Chains A and B, each alone.
Chain A
Amino acid sequence: MKNIFGQIKVLLIVGSVAPFIAMAQGTDTLHFQQLEEVIITATRNERTMGSLPMPVTLVQTPMIKTMGSVRLNDVLTEQTGLVVVPQINGQGNGIQIQGLNPDYTLILVDGEPIIGRYTGTLELSRLTVGNIKQVEIVKGPSSSLYGSEALAGVINIITEKPSTNTAKFSMRYGTNNTLDLNTTGGFVGSKWNVSVFANRYSTDGYDLSPQNYGKTVSPFLNYTLGSRVEYKLNNQTILSIGGRYFGENQDYSFDVNNKGNSIRTYGAGKITDWNLNTMLSHRISNRFKLTGRFYVTNYETDSYFKLERNDSLTKQDNYRQWFKRFELVGDYQFAPNHITTFGTGLIDESVVTNRYFGLTERTLQTKYLFIQHEWNPISPLIVIGGIRYDNNSKFGDQFSPKLSVQYEVSSKLVFKSSFGVGFKTPDFRQLYYNFYNAAGGGYNLWGSEIANERISEFQKLGLIQSYSVDLSTIGTLEPERSLSINIGAKAKLSSFLSWDVNLFRNNIDNLIDYLPIALTTSRETIYSFRNIKKVFTQGIETDLGCRLGSNFSVSIGYQLLFAKDQAVVDKVDRGDEYWRDPITLQTQRLKSNEYFGLYNRSRHTGNFKVFYKNAKSGWEGSVRVIYRGKFGVGDVQGNIQGEIIPASDQNDNLILDEYDNFVPGYALVNLSLAKSIQSLRLQIGVDNLLDYTNPIFIPNLPGRLIYGSVSFSLFEKSKNQ
């Protein structure tokens, strides 16, 4: 079967990958074939980069190796328009796409979702890139294919599939006693192939505030194990079974500094995460293929904190989540220029945690149908339209359409645009959270599903003093919905210069936020969640790629971003927003151009990269500069080694304006150099060469990291050729 979309010439390649690939093509044709730019995430079918009308970034393994990356956050942080942001308590790494929070990006491994968004964010460093083929990033909503969470974008990690018998080993050792051990094996028979994979990652962590007891990031150790077996039952049918396990242990020790008291605390945390993925694919005819998949995954964490002085427990947390999905997907080719993809599925999710009300298991079921049609009416025009219907046991019906169009003006210029609706159903936390903060003012935060029940309990006990909202408005949350537009172009400016630009706008009119609902008789506020916020993000992302000779490539990437709360914009425009000078305590009216926007968003981010690769001599190297402009931090104050993270707002209006205290912008300089001698590869590198750190606001950024790595293939024998 010939794929019409594959015939369209790969005109230009998105982003940073572009020059690299072009270079590989120039020096080594075989190399280029292995690096064929096929993306599965954007349409659920294998499509070439050039045939996709939506913004897509592709990062392939040779690039990842040259960068010396070992975890997913290392890879994503260097891509234009992707910002790796610290999360709750400033710890951890989440991904921000088009200015939207990490909660709104779906993360998949081989098309199956990774769960364990304990605080809403998926921790990117949980995912090793030791066994992958490529990372595909589709920006803008993809709910038309993937449903909930695919609102800002989808990141799909495609693991390596063996084509020959191989066994590869690699070891990387660096600063902070960080050791990454990786082994992959591939065994290929005439009817079957097997891949196995193991990774061990350990580190002593690091300490950015040596004056404080404990470490900024405590030592941890994790293992990732994976395997997949694929068996060809006959020429039409393939059965595949795969599994993955991840386990991590971390020990903590820190001081809580409160009002002059240093309260020495220790604890430990444990994460386990596994999944099993069974797939049966059958080709009914040349035109019709059906694939059935069953996926089950489990994520668990347990942690505790104790006081050192008397071993009394100060905090204990556990969280267990299950996700099961059955899916049937078909694609039918009516004509070479008409392809329809359709699917249906069932999802069953559940969570048990001490953080939710009652130790009962909370569940959600989703049934869904989707259909997508790819049409190529005349050769320069590609139209892809799709819609998905989701029926959720709690939230009812959702329809998510998307339309994308690409027009190739000439071989040097292509226009792209896509319009779509994205959605995210409220997470379990927003539904069942039952949190009481005894310290300080004391307050309760209740999920929307339990708020009414708890309110009536409190009322019976005579604990409610007054209500802040009409109670009938509490207890029903709706899925958050976005309306998004992406319009872009790709231009080949000359034989060695390519330019890529995309303009985006995302509107969310019913963002979930918490608000005070009642006051208790002991003057404690009760909060719950509601769809109350209206936000938008808009901006431009652009990449300029340049090939210098046959071995060098240079690229510049930049994103301009405006992410704002519509209610604040309106209030500032009306002249109803003020700020108080923190020194003079004088209050002044805030002007329209002085409102900066949402927290944790940088207006300017960018990168500058130079890659060198000489296939003949085996040398390769890179210089990458990653810039993140100034940003503000919100009112989620956490502790870093017992120090509070102060909010950016210092002028009493609780919004981020030009007079607030921003986290300054910074640039990271990363270098790498590698030499391949047949099957042996040696690499040295430095990340964060200038040793930039910001212990309070960017604790997830370690200082300078120097590393060396060795990798080799034990045997590599082609069987299939």
Chain B
Amino acid sequence: MKCVLSIVCLFYFSMFISCSKSDPAPTPVTAIRFSNLPADPATSFDPNTGAPTGFTNKFTFFSFATGAVVDSPSGTNWDLAFRATTILVNGGTSGAGKGAAQILTGIFDDVANAPTDGYKQDNDAGGLSPAAAPNTNLAIPTGSGNAWYVATGGGPSSPSVITATAGKVIVLKTADGKYAKMEILSYYKDAPAPVNPLRDIARYYTFQYVYQPDGSTRLK
């Protein structure tokens, strides 16, 4: 009887030790804000109309692991590509990685875990083509009211305003299959509020994100 008890005790202890070995205290994941990511902004403005001109039609690439813009994108060294209101993931037709995304409605801080399914990859022939190619059927859909923004207003002398809708959280798989969440906070340089489309420069993303490097779905 004693023996049995001691074996149980031993087993219990070994369990405890082994558990504490394989499950170290979780590394805290923190929300990081990235400001003014250029997404093919205008390089000049028409002196007669003020309309933006001089677009390059090139994407800007971003990596969650480094938290920085990727200057020479290749393979899986980037996670997202931005051009105007189009955002590509590194997966499907857009890249060689495992990138995928889905849009949740809620508060960024409240998304504690990434869902395990429901992700979509890009499926668009345009892909990363530098031409002003169409981008539809994307993991992060384009179009007003379809995912993260709404376009409003506009008139002969005032361009429309792109509002990054409050309460939209984009949950992502990165190029190497890790999880991240992001919230786009503004589409204009220095995140002005309210936006004045005759003054503020469009195509500059400000967003916050949480990247989980350990491969788990935990995002808080």
| A residues with CB within 8 A of B | 256-261, 263, 307, 309, 312, 314-315, 437-441, 443, 465-466, 468, 516, 519, 521-523, 525, 576-580, 582-583, 585, 587-589, 635-639, 644, 646-654, 661
Using known A-B contacts A440-B51, A637-B153, determine if residue A653 contacts B197 with beta carbons closer than 8 Å.
no
Contact B167 A653 (CB under 8 A): yes
User: Restricting to B154-210, which residues have a CB under 8 Å from any CB of A?
Assistant: 154-167, 183, 185-186, 191, 193-199, 201-202, 206, 208
Contact A307 B48 (CB under 8 A): yes
| B residues with CB within 8 A of A | 33, 45, 47-52, 84-86, 105, 107-108, 132, 134-136, 142-146, 150-167, 183, 185-186, 191, 193-199, 201-202, 206, 208
Using known A-B contacts A307-B48, A587-B183, determine if residue A644 contacts B162 with beta carbons closer than 8 Å.
no
Task: For B154, list chain A residues within 8 Å (CB).
Answer: 437, 439-441, 443, 637
Contact A585 B107 (CB under 8 A): no
Least CB distance from B41 to A in Å reads 11
Bound-state Cα–Cα, A626 to B185, Å: 41
Using known A-B contacts A465-B134, A523-B142, determine if residue A639 contacts B194 with beta carbons closer than 8 Å.
no
With CB as the reference atom, state the residue of chain B lying closest to A648: B194
Task: For B33, list chain A residues within 8 Å (CB).
Answer: 585
Least CB distance from A314 to B in Å reads 8
Least CB distance from A214 to B in Å reads 14
**Subset of 25 A-B contacts with CB under 8 Å:** A257-B198, A258-B198, A259-B50, A259-B201, A261-B47, A438-B156, A439-B51, A439-B155, A439-B159, A440-B197, A441-B162, A443-B154, A516-B145, A523-B135, A578-B107, A578-B167, A579-B166, A580-B164, A580-B185, A582-B193, A582-B194, A639-B157, A644-B158, A652-B163, A652-B193
Contact B196 A654 (CB under 8 A): no
Task: For A578, list chain B residues within 8 Å (CB).
Answer: 107, 165-167
Secondary structure at chain B's binding surface: helix, strand, loop or mixed? Answer: loop
Contact A439 B167 (CB under 8 A): no
Contact A263 B49 (CB under 8 A): yes
Contact B197 A585 (CB under 8 A): no
With CB as the reference atom, state the residue of chain B lying closest to A577: B167
Bound-state Cα–Cα, A331 to B191, Å: 66
Task: For B142, list chain A residues within 8 Å (CB).
Answer: 519, 523
Using known A-B contacts A259-B198, A523-B84, A585-B208, determine if residue A439 contacts B50 with beta carbons closer than 8 Å.
yes
Secondary structure at chain A's binding surface: helix, strand, loop or mixed? Answer: loop
Task: For A466, list chain B residues within 8 Å (CB).
Answer: 136, 143
Bound-state Cα–Cα, A258 to B150, Å: 22
Least CB distance from B212 to A in Å reads 20
Least CB distance from B112 to A in Å reads 16
Contact A256 B194 (CB under 8 A): no
Contact A635 B49 (CB under 8 A): no
Contact A523 B162 (CB under 8 A): no
Contact B151 A654 (CB under 8 A): no
Which among B153, B156, B166, B194 is the interface contact of A315 at CB below 8 angstroms? B156
Using known A-B contacts A440-B52, A646-B194, A647-B194, determine if residue A256 contacts B160 with beta carbons closer than 8 Å.
no
Bound-state Cα–Cα, A637 to B200, Å: 14
Least CB distance from A646 to B in Å reads 5
Task: List 4 A-B pairs, minimum CB-CB distance, nearest first.
Answer: A440-B159, A258-B50, A578-B167, A582-B193
Contact B161 A635 (CB under 8 A): yes
Least CB distance from B13 to A in Å reads 46
With CB as the reference atom, state the residue of chain A lying closest to B143: A519
Contact A653 B166 (CB under 8 A): yes
